[in-house]
Amino acid sequence: MTLTGRLGSSSRPVRVAIIGAGPSGFYAAGALLQQKDAHVSIDLLDRLPTPYGLVRYGVAPDHQKIKSVTRIYERTMKDRRVRYFGNVDLGSDVTHAELKSQYDQIVYAVGAQSDKRLGIPGEDLEGSFSATEFVAWYNGHPDFRHFDFDLSVESVAVIGVGNVAMDVTRILAKSVSELETTDITDYALDALRNSNVKRIHIFARRGPVQAKFTNPEIKELGELEIADVIVNPADLVLDDASQAEMEGDRTARRNLETLQELAERGSTGKPKQIIFHFLRSPTEITGVAGAVNAMTTEKNALQETESGYIACRGIGTYAEYDVGLVFRSIGYRGIPIPGVPFYDRWGIIPNEKGRVTAEHGGAVVPGEYTVGWAKRGPTGVIGTNKPDAVETVKLMMEDVKNAAVSLPGDSASVNSSGSHTDGHGRPGDIVPLLQKKGVPYVSFADWQILEQIENERGALRGQPRVKITDVDEMLRLIQSAKAEPVLP
């Protein structure tokens, strides 16, 4: 029996695996659940025990309001058609082929887990990091908790002027009292408590109008307890092309106003300084005994291209800055997954509006889809992932309807009620496979045990939560909580 042309049935739903339980994965699940004429069952897999991806490990600890978006994702998980399998890595725990045999459709919501490179000498010296490493470290990502950032240095360079650069700068520039009520990890707060960083140099290769940060983020820098922002008024004098660009861009206009206010204010004698350098590209990072001690930059001029893009080019004037740490914050990029196409040039999964293609511009791979940063690259805010997921899900439903994805009938895998009795009991699904392979997967109820522990620990200390950062400890805590007798 083949159920082609139909959007599943209650006894044979369209089985979807979503790989990655960050915002884009949850929005994809949410969009699938909203398909009124479709019967779906959704498994959300994440390689970490904890869900929420960049909301937990990317959003800055002092931006708690943004994190409240997880309430929407919790609502998604209340739907019995959705299950969560944390601590399951696609590649080592389950293979692409195994997923293909279990599901009708696979959605890759794996984000962009790596970072772009500058391609300049000295980039790999000790003390030269990507911002993504620093962000993941202070946010308690299990893979980055052992990183060591030498904050005994006085001067730091941050390269790039996007919102990630603003986050990194703010965390380096804030006082302990500004951070201790956040969910920053204990080890990061300790390191920052002992920090000797006094100057944070931010380098933008283009001008203030082309800066990628949004206005609340630049404003926030001007409101810090112990750091002044230094902007050179000469950097805010615009060429004609930038003037024209700004007139059509509200954010750029507001950013320029804020930068002008900051330039006028100048130093007020606070112990730390955040110093903006516009129109400067790093050309070399140099070190002593293998560790960073300086960075050279070249002055740029702006030049409008035929397409109207305002590019920059070096004009041969160089300056060296003494810095002991460099954070390149020039954008994220994806990493390839075994068995899944990857377009190296853009660092994404090649796709056509969310349908995975065998290569960039190539043929569609039936039954495989992508959403979020893995689909479009690392742009936009959390909410941008919602319409993005809706676009992909629409195509997924079209493909089932048009029989581009067939639903082979499988009596062994049919649950008569179509519902999940205990959340992990459907015959013929991924559970027996994971059990057979001894994968200690984490259910959503398991995660909620962890979450409660984190919240309770936080409440005792006036913090939103105290993050558990070690995977073994997470699994131990879940096991011991489950082993405790339930009181009548």
CA end-to-end distance (rounded Å), the chain: 48
Question: Mask 94-133, x = binds ligand NAP (CB under 6 A)?
Answer: ------------------------x---------------
Query: How far apart are the C-alpha atoms of 106 and 42, rounded to whole Å?
Result: 10
Q: Is 151 in the site for ligand NAP (CB under 6 A)?
A: no
Shortest Cβ 157–ligand NAP spacing (Å): 11
Query: How far apart are the C-alpha atoms of 194 and 172, rounded to whole Å?
Result: 11
Query: How far apart are the C-alpha atoms of 317 and 299, rounded to whole Å?
Result: 5
- The DSSP call for residue 18 is E
Query: How far apart are the C-alpha atoms of 345 and 334, rounded to whole Å?
Result: 10
Q: Which is nearer to ligand NAP, 262 or 430 (CB)?
A: 262
Q: Which two tokens stand for residue 430?
A: 């991924």
Hey, which residues between 374 and 413 contact ligand NAP (CB under 6 A)? Answer: 378-381
8 A C-beta contact, residue 464 and residue 183: yes
SS3 at position 351: strand
The region of 23-31, 161-169, 187-195, 414-422 touching ligand NAP under the rule CB under 6 A is 161-169
Shortest Cβ 378–ligand NAP spacing (Å): 5
Hey, which residues between 181 and 210 contact ligand NAP (CB under 6 A)? Answer: 205-206, 210
Query: How far apart are the C-alpha atoms of 21 and 243, rounded to whole Å?
Result: 42
Q: Is 68 in the site for ligand NAP (CB under 6 A)?
A: no
8 A C-beta contact, residue 416 and residue 9: no
Nearest partner of 285 among 165, 128, 167, judged by Cα = 128
**Contact pick of 20, 142, 160, 207 for ligand NAP (by CB under 6 A):** 160
Q: Which two tokens stand for residue 457?
A: 């620990």
Which residue of the chain is nearest ligand NAP when measured via CB? 162
Q: Which is nearer to ligand NAP, 3 or 229 (CB)?
A: 229
Q: Is 164 in the site for ligand NAP (CB under 6 A)?
A: yes
The region of 17-25, 220-228, 258-266, 328-336 touching ligand NAP under the rule CB under 6 A is 328-336
Q: Which is nearer to ligand NAP, 49 or 372 (CB)?
A: 372
Q: Is 332 in the site for ligand NAP (CB under 6 A)?
A: yes
Per DSSP, the residues of 158-216 read EE--SHHHHHHHHHHHS-HHHHTTS---HHHHHHHHT----EEEEE-SS-GGG----HH
Nearest partner of 276 among 219, 342, 230, 343, judged by Cα = 230
Q: Which is nearer to ligand NAP, 285 or 400 (CB)?
A: 285
Question: Mask 22-61, x = binds ligand NAP (CB under 6 A)?
Answer: ----------------------------------------
The region of 244-252, 296-304, 330-338, 351-359 touching ligand NAP under the rule CB under 6 A is 330-338
Q: Which is nearer to ligand NAP, 140 or 162 (CB)?
A: 162
The region of 20-28, 164-172, 443-451, 466-474 touching ligand NAP under the rule CB under 6 A is 164-172
**Contact pick of 93, 167, 368, 446 for ligand NAP (by CB under 6 A):** 167
Hey, which residues between 254 and 293 contact ligand NAP (CB under 6 A)? Answer: 281
Q: Which is nearer to ligand NAP, 63 or 424 (CB)?
A: 63
Q: Which two tokens stand for residue 58?
A: 């990317």
8 A C-beta contact, residue 401 and residue 360: no
User: Given the structure tokens 């936080």, which residue do they identify?
Assistant: 458
User: Where on the chain is the footprint of ligand NAP (CB under 6 A)?
Assistant: 118, 159-165, 167, 205-206, 210, 212, 217, 281, 329-332, 378-381
